[in-house]
């Protein structure tokens, strides 16, 4: 009996060794196709038809780092250990189940099949995106309902070796998406270093290190960045004049601007330009009535404009009425449907957002915080978007220091209008296509 067992074991072992060095079929006893080292099939079909009624399950991993740079980081990126040669593992295939891995998770939904390219994990299938040059971006809307990646526009006034390097472009690359009746909006925050309009004479200063009065008369911008300290008003990060961009910043997070910088000084209206909710016709004080052509371009690219309070209201209502088009699941509130599901690094605060990813046509609000005087606050917890609409006077603020803004918070489900936003605060921008 022992001799029989030994014979069986040796026979099986020999078969395994043979399979290791030859072509193999898994799923049946059929011969593999001539050009296949491994053929997964249950039955033959020489006419190119189906050969199985089941699929192949890839190993499912929590991919925590899209761009590992060392052999040990590659191993730990999918929950393993040891050191894996970066080049030798090119072609390694896994199925990622983690929604927001480090190094990505902003433009694309990174959940799905990923292959190691030698320098990063790469999704096997990406949504189709149209690319548009600056000339196309400033022209008529010819993109239908597609998501569009808009190229950066070189700054014609830039002098290499004299001007700061960041001024090489008028504005940086951005994405846009179609929102039905609400029109086409930027799906990433605006990063513009100069005005793209011959009619705006203002120059764009930088940094938020001025008094409240100065910041109502001087254009200001700064980088959004994570808090590093706390005081009685909450967590904050100091703005340092002339500082470089934070290591975690990229252009789709945008810059923070005061209202004068956002509008380019085009809107000097003193009064309440809040949408008249009782009529579809703009009221006598609204931007659509008082602005030349019914809109202000401000710091937006040519062919785009800074949306008014009425346009923001329309966007909110459109997303709320069609959550399945712009969000995952069925969110019952606009704020949840508009928030990006992934937190901004290095913060790990959950956004509680269900917006589709940028490449899939979601609004994907990034919680970049706001700047007050010389500090950036609430990074990773909220985002404030300027409108082009002036705000009413309030007991604490005069009408000439107020404007309307729209806010999304990590711990609130809705999106909120603020009618008394201080113009000297620095907030994010999303532009709308003309």
Looking at residue 19, its pLDDT comes to 44
> Is residue 10 assigned to a domain?
no
> Is residue 16 assigned to a domain?
no
Looking at residue 356, its pLDDT comes to 93
- What distances in angstroms separate CA 251 from CA 37, 189, 327, one per listed residue? 45, 8, 23
Q: Are 405 and 386 in contact (CB under 8 A)?
A: yes
What residues does 402 pair with on adjacent strands?
422
* Domains identified in the chain, total number: 3
> Is residue 15 assigned to a domain?
no
Are 200 and 137 in the same domain?
yes
Looking at residue 294, its pLDDT comes to 97
Are 40 and 70 in the same domain?
no
Looking at residue 209, its pLDDT comes to 60
Average pLDDT over the chain, rounded to an integer: 88
> Is residue 12 assigned to a domain?
no
Among 67, 99, 126, residue at a domain's last position: 126
Are 251 and 349 in the same domain?
yes
Looking at residue 420, its pLDDT comes to 87
Looking at residue 18, its pLDDT comes to 46
Looking at residue 190, its pLDDT comes to 98
Are 151 and 169 in the same domain?
yes
Are 270 and 251 in the same domain?
yes
Are 404 and 275 in the same domain?
yes
Are 242 and 375 in the same domain?
yes
Are 72 and 173 in the same domain?
no
Per-residue pLDDT of the chain (434 residues; tens, 9 = 90+): 444 443 433 343 444 444 445 789 998 888 888 888 888 988 888 777 888 999 889 999 999 888 999 999 999 999 999 999 999 999 999 999 988 887 666 888 888 899 999 999 999 887 889 999 999 999 988 899 999 999 999 999 899 999 889 899 999 999 999 999 999 999 999 999 999 998 888 888 876 665 666 667 889 999 999 887 766 666 778 887 778 898 889 999 999 999 999 999 999 888 899 998 777 899 999 999 999 999 999 999 999 999 999 999 999 999 999 999 999 987 889 999 999 999 988 887 889 999 999 999 999 999 999 998 788 999 999 999 999 999 988 777 776 789 999 999 999 999 999 988 989 899 999 999 99
Looking at residue 318, its pLDDT comes to 96
> Is residue 192 assigned to a domain?
yes
Are 108 and 184 in the same domain?
no
Among 71, 104, 126, residue at a domain's last position: 126
> Is residue 14 assigned to a domain?
no
Among 98, 126, 154, residue at a domain's last position: 126
> Is residue 5 assigned to a domain?
no
Q: Are 402 and 420 in contact (CB under 8 A)?
A: yes
Residue 327 structure tokens: 């969000």
Are 173 and 84 in the same domain?
no
Which residues form the domain of 416?
A: 130-433
Looking at residue 215, its pLDDT comes to 64
Looking at residue 203, its pLDDT comes to 81
Q: Percentage of residues in the chain with pLDDT exceeding 70?
A: 91
Are 197 and 86 in the same domain?
no
> Is residue 330 assigned to a domain?
yes
Are 208 and 338 in the same domain?
yes
């Amino acid at each position: 009996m022992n001799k029989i067992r030994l014979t069986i074991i040796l026979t099986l072992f020999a078969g395994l060794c043979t399979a290791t060095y030859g072509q193999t079929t898994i799923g049946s006893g059929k011969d593999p196709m001539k050009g296949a080292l491994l053929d997964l099939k249950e039955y033959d079909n020489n006419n190119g038809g189906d050969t199985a009624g089941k699929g192949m399950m890839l190993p499912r991993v929590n991919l925590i780092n899209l761009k590992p740079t060392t052999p040990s980081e590659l191993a730990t990126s999918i929950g393993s250990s040891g050191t894996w040669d970066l080049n030798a593992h090119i072609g390694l295939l896994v199925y990622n189940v983690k929604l927001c891995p480090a190094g990505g998770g902003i433009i694309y939904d990174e959940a799905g099949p990923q292959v190691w390219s030698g320098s990063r994990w790469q999704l096997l299938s990406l949504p189709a995106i149209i690319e548009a040059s600056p000339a196309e971006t400033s022209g008529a809307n010819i993109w239908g309902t597609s998501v569009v990646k808009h190229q950066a526009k070189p700054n014609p006034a830039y002098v290499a070796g004299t001007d700061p390097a960041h001024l090489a472009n008028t504005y940086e690359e951005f994405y846009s998406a179609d929102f039905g009746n609400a029109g086409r909006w930027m799906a990433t925050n605006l990063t513009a270093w100069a005005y793209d309009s011959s009619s705006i004479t203002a120059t764009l200063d930088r940094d938020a290190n001025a008094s409240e009065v100065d910041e109502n008369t001087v254009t200001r911008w700064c980088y959004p960045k994570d808090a590093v300290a706390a005081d009685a008003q909450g967590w904050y990060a100091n703005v340092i004049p002339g500082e470089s961009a934070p290591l975690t910043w990229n252009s789709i997070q945008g810059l923070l601007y005061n209202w004068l910088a956002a509008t380019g000084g085009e809107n000097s209206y003193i009064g309440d330009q809040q949408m008249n909710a009782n009529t579809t016709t703009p009221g006598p004080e609204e931007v659509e009535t008082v602005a030349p052509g019914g809109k202000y371009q401000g710091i937006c690219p040519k062919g785009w404009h800074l949306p008014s309070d009425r346009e923001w209201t329309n966007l909110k209502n459109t997303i709320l009425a069609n959550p399945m088009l712009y969000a995952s699941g069925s969110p019952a509130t606009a704020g949840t449907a508009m928030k990006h599901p992934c937190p901004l690094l290095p913060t790990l605060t959950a956004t509680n957002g269900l917006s589709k990813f940028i490449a899939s046509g979601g609004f994907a609000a990034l919680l970049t915080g706001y700047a007050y005087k010389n500090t950036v606050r609430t990074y990773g917890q909220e985002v404030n978007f300027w409108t082009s609409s002036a705000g009413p006077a309030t007991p604490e603020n005069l009408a000439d220091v107020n404007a309307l803004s729209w806010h999304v918070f990590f711990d609130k489900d809705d999106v909120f209008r603020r009618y008394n936003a201080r113009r000297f605060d620095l907030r994010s921008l999303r532009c709308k296509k003309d």
